[in-house]
Amino acid sequence: MSRDLHGSSGEPSYGTFAGDSTTANSPVTTMAFNAAAGHSDTKHGSLDGEHAHGHDILKGDIIVGTIAGEEARQATEHEHNLSFRDAIRLYPAAIGWSVFFSLGIIMTAFDPQLLGNLYATPAFQRDFGYLYEGSWIIKAPWQTGLSMGSPIGQIAPTYASEVSPIALRGVLTSYINLCFVIGQLIANGVIAGTSQLNNHWAYSGPFASQWFWCLVILVGWPFAPESPWFLIRKGRFDEAESSLRRLASKEVDIKPAMAMMIETDRLEQELEAGTTYLDCFRQINRRRTEIAMGVYSIQVISGIYLVGYATYFFTLAGLPTDKAFDMSIGFLALGFVGTLCSWVLLVNFGRRIIYNVGLSALVVLLLIIGILDCAPGYTENTPLIWAQSSLMLVWNLCYGLSVGPVCFVILCEVSATKVRSKTIALATATQALVGIVMTIAIPYLINPDQANARGKIGFFFGGLGALSLLWSFFRVPETKGRTYEELDIMFSRGASRLLAASLRIVIGIEYMIYLKMDDLAPFTHTPVDDIPGIHDRITRTFHTHTTRILQYRLKQLRSLYWGLKDEEPALTEALKLDLGKSAYEAYMSEIGWCLNDILFVCKNLEAWMKDEAAPDMPLMNMLMRPRIRKDPLGAVLIIGAYNFPYMLALGPLIGAIASGCTAVLKPSENAPNSARIMQHIIEQSLSSDAYEVVQGGIPETTALLEQKWDKIFYTGNVGVGKIIAKKAAETLTPVTLELGGRNPAIVSKHADPRLAARRLLWAKLFNAGQVCVSQNYVLVDKEVLPAFMHELGEALREFQPQGAKDNDDYSHIVNERQWSRLKSLLDSTKGKIIYGGHTDQDSLLFEPTVVQVESADDPLVREESFGPLVPILPVQDLEEAIRTANEVHATPLALYTFGSKADNAKVLAETRSGGATMNDAIFHASMPTLAFGGVGDSGQGAYRGMASFDCFTHRRSVTQTPGWMEGLLNVRYPPYTAEKSKKIKQMQDLKPDFDRQGNTKRSLVWWLLLLGGKGTVSAGVRWAVFVSLLAVGARVYRGR
């Protein structure tokens, strides 16, 4: 049951909807039937039936349309992944023909610049001007009439935008502005060659030279390939395919590109009413046309017409004619340089930010130019005139960097493909109308016999520019990096400039703006039989060495960042469903944490990847360039936990990506909603050949452990950790284990009871105590016990004034099994419940419960609660607290101590733990840049920040021996002699700086330099005292 939108069964089939070759039994049609039935067998999931029909323009929360067709999705992914360098290599013909058609823009710019410079040519002034106060002036009506034709002759860069891939689109469309500058420079060159003539050829020659450009374009035009977009809109698919083949190299598979273009055309047929000029102002096209007309008109409004009058303006400003002409050449040269530099900006920054920042700079410069013109005695102040003229040069540089080239990029990207030529024609006509107004107004504004505004014209254009900036800020969205199909979707939703900046279009099944958990497929276990194939694919990808490249790693990390950023509402919703976690805690401890971790890693990754110099090497060894290379370990397995499902799964994954590894992520099945959204984000953000998600429980985990990995990273309990370590040992696979622990908190008699109570209570309220680093019990000095218990009650009433039930800030226990375990643990204690104790099995509520126990053997102390239980054990003093902590668990994951500086130092010196926080709780584990890990049976290895990079990296020692060292290294070859033995010792032996008793020894010279001090600081102090004494002695001696 195929869908032929183009009405011809004879056309080739591209993607899903072209031609009749998509039959009822095809995978695409099957997927459509599944979607309509409310289920899907694809890995991307599906919406319910009512959401899976066509491109309905919905005003609800989720979809705009549906795409079926793997080829279209592949083409979109290819467009996004294509680098600028690869695009140049793969599309040389597209670049060449775009550059050729841009010759028309050179002609367009050549004409008005020629006319503007003619007004300063002596022969033209003499023949067509009149004397005014001793100087030749061209009448304003003459200037208006001659310049009137220039706006009408402008052409738009439609061709460049339609034949270039996304990676080149910004540069090739902004190249239009460079052509304008080139045309202006050539016009100045022509004028320079003819302006000194005393006859009519001083201006007739330049007029005649305009025909050159027409001839060049007419010669090449018949051989140019037609725009494939135009041909597809006309239903001429064979010709479109032929055109695409001519524009791309033989390496490019044009089938997916054709599928995407046909799909985009189909989408626009459903989203738009037609292809006439009137349709440019209907439905979703209205705003697109407004933006196109606006940004193109702002070119004129921001003051670009002053470029054509540069020489004339500089002359009227008071510069000599020859200096004014030189300034105009510099004016255009800076515009040329600015446009070239804009290409770097376009590759690295969004269109919107470049445009708005550049427009802001133009407004400021114009206002300063106007202010300078108001200075007293301006006409006699030569430095002021030069300063004003120099600011005009800076203005053109800023224009060339921003508004000038970016205007054409936005113009091409915001217009819909079906009405692009008409949209750009309307924008050009609008600019022409504004240009006519400026062409009439500028001569009257600047001429001495009229308004004589001179530099005060800066106020006029500066004011208009400020209004334009206000409009642009609220109306122009970000379009960088989007296919035309994605832009159609974005505008069909009427996306605001802020939403458009963060909009992420999902290609494959649905187009979504805000994903909801109901839109995802249900939690489904990965088939166990698929796991070996997944492992093999991930391993093969690593051996292609693609993941080792810095830019690949950064691209994956940045894509993951936006995947998380864009799906923040769904991520928050999933945590609420799994753990009852509040939006505040979800962002603070999970989403925001992961985002910051990615940004920190991206910022430092290049430095981390660099080879590390080996320290303290003898000179001979240094000649061999000893260094430590950071190599990725390979294909790794990451097994996450349920209590912080994003942080504990994505944190290691970020490190694996940064190190250049490929990875399989196995989220916890106890947080199924979080696992679903993570899988969705990873599949949409990361390369499926390098990063995969496996869902399931024990059978799937067992199957994963049967594979040979290069590293296993596990977060969870000690029992499973031992199983994994044992299994990994069979294949000598390195493991990182982040396990739990019975973490102590020690409150000494010198502690502030209020601070200790508030901070420790918060650690148990946080995620309902389901935190591996929260304290398992609190050892409190009996001297402060009453105050501490009182402050706990006060803090509990403050944090939960209405109690824990129906409290949106308080999480519930993850599942009934964990709730029952906690309830059993509470029932088994012999301690006294001081606060809390209420539970509700139906809602999985477990109220924060403070229990005073009398012995370290109490179950609440000896067993890890992993919940909101707060056992308090009184102790006589700090020594007893330290002894008890070491007896309960010698190597906990975390330790907290509250007391004086001496108390805290003593606790740290006499205990062990994975990490520690003094006078607070959890903080050491909350910082994404600080290494986190356990010790002993609380875990092994560490990650986060640079430690995550190191976790999945092999430090590979490398040396490189140059050939010229052979003579020095001859001593290593047999036969070994006494002379060789002596030389080898001289070459490699270091000398000890200590004596036989182990005491540090120094030479007499070194002792004198340090004046007997033990270090540079003490030596510095001694030298200061010594010099001061010498100075005092010298002064006393001279006084005698």
- Reading the block at residue 583, the tokens are 């939006």
CA dihedral sign of residues 551, 553, 558, 559: positive
Q: Write out the H or E segment, with its range, that includes residue 1020.
A: helix 1016-1039
User: Rounded to whole angstroms, how far apart are CA atoms 984 and 978?
Assistant: 10
Q: Residue 996 has which token pair? A: 């036989």
Structure tokens belonging to residue 339: 């446009």
Nearest partner of 135 among 449, 444, 379, 380, judged by Cα: 449
- What percent of the chain is helix, strand and coil (3-state, nearest 5)? 60, 10, 30
* Selected catalytic residue, list 280, 407, 594, 772: 772
Two structure tokens written together for 542: 């690593």
Known catalytic membership, residue 738: yes
The residues near 636 (Cβ < 8 Å, ≥ 6 apart) are: 656, 661, 662, 663, 664, 709, 710, 711, 712, 713, 952
Whole-angstrom distance, CA of residue 1009 vs CA of residue 760: 52
Q: Residue 178: which of 327, 309, 313, 346 has the closest Cα?
A: 346
3-state helix/strand/coil string of 354-396: HHHHHHHHHHHHHHHHHHHHCCCCHHHCHHHHHHHHHHHHHHH
Q: 790: alpha, beta or left, given left = phi > 0 and alpha = psi -120 to 50? A: alpha
**Spatial distance between the Cα atoms of 962 and 964, rounded to a whole number of angstroms:** 6
- Rounded to whole angstroms, the Cα distance separating 870 from 826 reads 10
Contact 90, 537 (CB under 8 A): no
Measured distance CA(436)–CA(429) in Å, rounded: 10
d(CA 934, CA 850): 27
- Give the total residue count for the chain: 1040
241 is catalytic: no
Q: How many whole angstroms separate alpha carbon 23 and alpha carbon 776?
A: 62
Q: What angle separates helix 785-799 from helix 753-765, to the nearest 10 degrees?
A: 50
Written as six digits, the tokens of 403 are 């508004």
Are the beta carbons of 775 and 764 closer than 8 angstroms?
yes
Which residue type sits at 621? N
426 contacts 289 by C-beta, under 8 angstroms: yes
Greatest alpha-carbon span in the chain: 117
> Residue 715's beta-bridge partner residues?
738
Amino acid (one-letter) located at 172 = L
Residue 63's DSSP bridge partners are: 512
- Nearest CA to 187 among 329, 300, 320? 329
| Choice among 738, 791, 847, 864 that is catalytic | 738
Q: CA-to-CA distance for 218 and 335, rounded, in angstroms?
A: 28
DSSP SS3 for 52: coil
Q: Is 992 left (phi over 0), alpha (psi -120 to 50) or beta?
A: beta
The tokens for 717 are 């309990």
Look up residue 56 and give its DSSP letter: -
For residue 549, how many C-alpha atoms fall within 13 Å in the half-sphere facing its CB?
Answer: 9
Alpha helix ranges (H) inside 580-715: 583-586, 592-609, 619-622, 647-659, 672-685, 698-705
Please identify which residue in the block is written with the tokens 């208009």. 464
Q: Pick the closest to residue 870 from 915, 916, 822, 911 (CA basis).
A: 822
Separation of alpha carbons 911 and 746, rounded Å: 12
Q: Which amino acid is at 606?
A: E
Name the residues annotated as catalytic.
738, 772
